[in-house]
């Protein structure tokens, strides 16, 4: 099955954004300002 490069790039971008959001949430919970 051939996956277009665009799909791979979009998937990577979504995964990165999701990871950053999770990181931010964890940091906020650990260090409430």
Identify the domain containing residue 32 by its residue range: 1-33
**Structural domains in the chain (count):** 1
- φ/ψ of 31, rounded to 5, equals -125, 80
pTM of the model: 0.58
User: pLDDT value at position 12?
Assistant: 95
pLDDT, averaged per 10 consecutive residues of the chain (33 residues), comes to 82 96 85 60
Q: What is the DSSP string of 1-33?
A: ----HHHHHHHHHHHHHHHHHHHHHHHHHHS--
């Amino acid at each position: 099955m051939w996956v277009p490069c665009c799909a791979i790039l979009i998937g990577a971008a979504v995964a990165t954004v999701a990871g950053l959001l999770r990181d931010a949430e964890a940091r906020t919970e650990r260090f409430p300002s």
